[in-house]
Chain A
Amino acid sequence: MLSTYPGQPAVDHPVSAPIEHRFDPYVDNGGTLLSIAGDEFCVVAADTRQSEGYLINSRYVPKSVKLSDKTVISMGGCYADCLTLTKRIQQSMEWYHHAHGKTMSTAAVAQMLSIMLYQKRFFPFYSWCILGGLDEEGKGAVYTYDPVGSYERESCRCAGSASSLIQPFLDNQISFKNQETQRRNLSLEQVLRITKDSFTSATERDIYTGDYLEIFVITKNGVQVQKMDLKKD
Chain B
Amino acid sequence: MDTLVGITGKDFVITAFDSKAVASITLMKTGEDKSRELNSHALMLFSGEPGDGVHFSEYIERNIKLYGIRHGIELSPKAVASFARRELADSLRSRKPYAVNLLIAGYDVKTDKPSLYWIDHLASSVDVPFAAHGYGGYYCLSVLDRYHRQDITEEEGIKLMQKCIQEIRSRMIMSMPDFIAKIVNKDGIRLVQL
Direct contact of A and B (CB under 8 A): no
Chain A interfacial positions (CB closer than 8 Å to B): none
